[in-house]
Amino acid sequence: MRYVALVLLLLGSPAFAGTPWDVVVALAPDAAGRAPAIAAVAAPLRLTARGRLSDGFASSPTARALPWRLDPSRILLFAATDSVQAVVAAAAFARMPGVSWSEVAAWREPAVDRIGRATGPAADPLLADTRQWGLSNAGAAGVYGGRAGADIHARDAWTRSTGSAGVRLAVADTGIDPSHPDLAGALPDGSPRIALARDVTSDALPAMADSFGHGTLVAGVMAARTGEGPHFDSLGVAGVCGGDGAVNPGCMLVPIRITRGHTGSASSTDIARGLLYAAEVGARAVNLSFASPWPSRLERLALAEALARGTVTVCAAGNRGYTDGAAPQYPAAHAADGLCVQVGASDPWDDRAVFSSYGPGLDLVAPGVDIWTTFMTYPSSAGAVYDGYVAASGTSFAAPFATGTIGLLAASRPGLAADDFQPLLRLSADDIGAPGPDAFTGAGRLNAARALEWVGPDRALAHREVVADTWRLAAIDTLRLDESGFTLLDRLGRRALTQRWEISATITVPDSFADSTASWVRVTGTNTLRDDFHLAWLAPWAVIEHVGARTLRVRGSLHRLIDARLGDSAPDTAVDTTLLWIPVPPESARFAITLLGPRAAPAVSAPGPGPRPRITLAPNPAREIVRLRGVPGERVEIFDVRARRVAVLVLSGVGDASWDGRDRSGRVAAPGVYLVRASGRRDARLAWLPRHR
């Protein structure tokens, strides 16, 4: 209870007293017409109808056939006056025809451990002051001590990416102070940097208003403007993706208020709506620094749906490390299914913070102790006042380090898929604690610089979605599913004899990759299950079981019902045979794979005839003028290593041309290696002369 008391004193109360309890009712796919009858039952239960989850959202054209896809139009919401009434109502709804499942919404608390007032003399911007140790840790010479380099290596990361105004990052929280100078500002086109704000609760408060304080703190860690100078008596902080202090303002911020009134508590129904809204406006990531021990099916489905629409959720691991740190905290625990990124907290010595939870699915840790960030420029609803900045601790402030890093990655490599970020952050983390991934620190401490190295211009990236090419019977046993909603299993009491089939496919590594290639399964586009007969819920899963010289083998499982109550190996005539397979028949099995690794070096071909245009290397134009020789009149294109066309030349009547290192607009091209492609049936032969400008 330590952090709850501190939040109460410093920001405001996260308590649930007097707050309506939401009841969630999911209609069966064929029960759309039953909504009025179900709504009529709510009256004697003294419930208030809140409409559908889809209210206020654009309809999505995506398919809903898989059990982990969410159709918001089939989710009805009701408000009960207390928890007892909510539990009774949820049980009554679950027994009604046409209802697939029902639940009482779970409440989430902000994952704050403590907040403290600034101490010591006023300083220059706090990154230079060494107080922002999470970005750059000075070790014993710094204000907080610790170990030098126990940080996310932000300074090195910023040499590769400082974010982009075209990348939207959402903050599902208590709102954002829109007037804070370290958060506000304008994008290059003159539009505001903080935009598309939305209150997804039933309140009528301004969407962007933060009266509690938590959302403003989180936003500052993630994207406070970097390098633009001091504020508030020479104070100021840097954010992970806060731009370069000049023409690049960093990533765009989308505030989504998920808390009701002036409290810091969020319902899983409002969180689900917040995630769907983040996906609707095209946010690449949404930060969710809330946690509690109670799971929510609706929230889990919203995580999966947002991911399928291109938005990854970054979740705080929770602050139960003092008591039951290994217990699952939700929604972060769904990282074990690949549905989000779970971030714990580390301290300046690269140890797990003592308050940080380390439940199932922990991906990595990030700085979360004494983190300087933005505070509101006005008092909180509880009367808390700080001078624009404050130091705070909690996994609430570890998570936005990872969210900001995703902003850097998305700006640097727009082709990354939403479910690439979790494995990429794990792959690039600095191992701390026990060697290798461990329960207390996951894959290690966030390293933004190494993550950006992994997606640099010298790395090839490929996404492959393949159908299964092999399946075999692996075992026969009783399948147990802990939740309702799969119709045929519900008829059998969610326990049935099944065959577990192992489904696999082979993926060939493209020639554009060198031999050393990282790979992982993406849950979006994969529809096989875990190798188990006891499933808490249905979620996509697969594993890369074999890596060859130029091939990968991926495998997952499907179940086929053979329960005697349906007949031996065949159902009664009323059951579609395709429904015997959970979740799909083998011929419909799909796997989504990402490949990431060094580009294969392009071959420099000898002059001579050839059936296709060929590619060869040109020297660095910053040092030399490139002279090309080939077929007179031949068109020659020059590309950078990101395959962007830089210049186009035409060989003269005697078959030569020179490139002075300038692009098509006349600007000097950046130093580096460039590719030259000749369009004719012969390669352009390259020769270069000493620079003589």
pLDDT digits (tens, 9 = 90+) for 55-99: 888 765 554 578 899 999 999 999 998 889 999 999 999 988 889
Domain spans, the chain: 2-106, 110-457, 462-598, 615-690
CB 528 within 8 A of CB 500: no
pLDDT at 673: 64
Give residue-wise pLDDT tens across range 389-443: 999 999 999 999 999 999 999 999 999 999 999 999 999 999 998 899 999 999 9
Q: How much is the pLDDT for 549?
A: 80
What is the CATH topology of the domain spanning 110-457?
Answer: Rossmann fold (3.40.50)
Q: Is the pLDDT of residue 604 over 70?
A: no
CATH number of 615-690: 2.60.40.4070
Q: Which amino acid does the sequence have at 496?
A: A
Closest of 106, 100, 395 to residue 271, by C-alpha: 106
pLDDT category of residue 301 using cuts at 50, 70 and 90:
very high
- What's the pTM? 0.84
CB-CB contact of 403 with 446 (8 Å): no
Specify the range with the lowest mean pLDDT, choosing from 84-88, 255-259, 635-639. Answer: 635-639
In this prediction, residue 442 carries a pLDDT of 97
Among residues 227, 261, 221, 268, which one has the least CA distance to residue 240?
A: 221
Q: DSSP character for 28?
A: P
pLDDT at 202: 82
- Of residues 203 and 139, more confidently modeled: 139
pLDDT of residue 613: 40
**pLDDT cut 70: percent of the chain above it:** 84
Residue 571 pLDDT more than 60?
Answer: no
Q: With contact defined as beta carbons under 8 Å apart, do 628 and 552 qualify?
A: no
pLDDT at 327: 96
In this prediction, residue 4 has a pLDDT band, given cuts at 50, 70 and 90, of very low
Average pLDDT (270-298) is 97
Output the six-digit token pair for 91: 């049980």
Query: Between residues 604 and 493, which one has the greater pLDDT?
Result: 493
- Lowest mean pLDDT segment, chosen from 86-90, 383-387, 533-537, 631-635: 631-635
> Given this model, what pLDDT does residue 261 score?
85
In this structure, the chain runs to a length of: 693
DSSP string, 530-567: -S-SEESS-----EEEEE-SSEEEEEEEEEEE--GGG-
- pLDDT, position 671: 62
99 and 26 Cβ atoms separated by less than 8 Å: yes
SS3 29: coil
The whole-angstrom distance between residue 637's C-alpha and the CA centroid of its chain comes to 37
Q: Return the residue matching tokens 């979620």.
A: 539
Task: Give me the pLDDT at residue 396, please.
Answer: 97
Q: What is the mean pLDDT of residues 657-685?
A: 66
Mean pLDDT value across residues 440-451: 97
What does residue 236 show for φ and ψ, rounded to 5 degrees? Answer: 160, 145
CB atoms within 10 A of CB 164: 21
Count of alpha carbons within 13 angstroms of residue 368, beta-carbon side: 34
**Chain-wide mean pLDDT for the chain?**
85
Q: What is the pLDDT of residues 324-364, one digit of tens each?
A: 999 999 999 999 999 999 999 999 999 999 999 999 999 99
Fold matches, 2-106 and 110-457 = no
What residues are paired with 25 via a beta bridge? 76, 102
Q: What is the pLDDT of residue 488?
A: 83
| Dihedrals phi, psi of 93, to nearest 5 degrees | -60, -40
Least confident of 216-225, 275-284, 385-394: 385-394
589 CB burial (10 A radius; 0-12, 13-18, 19+) = buried
Q: pLDDT value at position 6?
A: 40
Residue 371's pLDDT band, with cuts at 50, 70 and 90, is very high
Note the pLDDT of residue 578: 65
Between 41 and 414, the higher pLDDT residue: 414
Helix or strand run (H / E) with residue 86: helix 83-94
8 Å CB contact between 14 and 109: yes
DSSP character string of 255-307: EEE-B-TT-S-EEHHHHHHHHHHHHHTT-SEEEE-EEBS---HHHHHHHHHHH
How many Å apart are CA 365 and CA 137, to the nearest integer?
A: 16
Q: How far is CA 599 from the centre of its chain?
A: 25
Of the two residues 659 and 148, the one the predictor is more confident about is 148
Rounded to whole angstroms, what are the CA distances from 263 to 14, 49, 205, 238, 284?
5, 23, 12, 28, 27
Cα torsion 154, 214, 332, 356: sign: positive
Q: Which of 166-170, 325-329, 649-653, 673-677 is the least confident region?
A: 673-677
Give CA–CA dist 269/509, Å, rounded. Answer: 42
Q: Is the pLDDT of residue 118 over 60?
A: no
pLDDT, tens digit, 9 for 90 and up, residues 683-692: 444 444 333 3
Which CATH code of 1.10.10, 3.30.390, 3.30.70, 1.20.120 fits the domain covering 2-106? 3.30.70
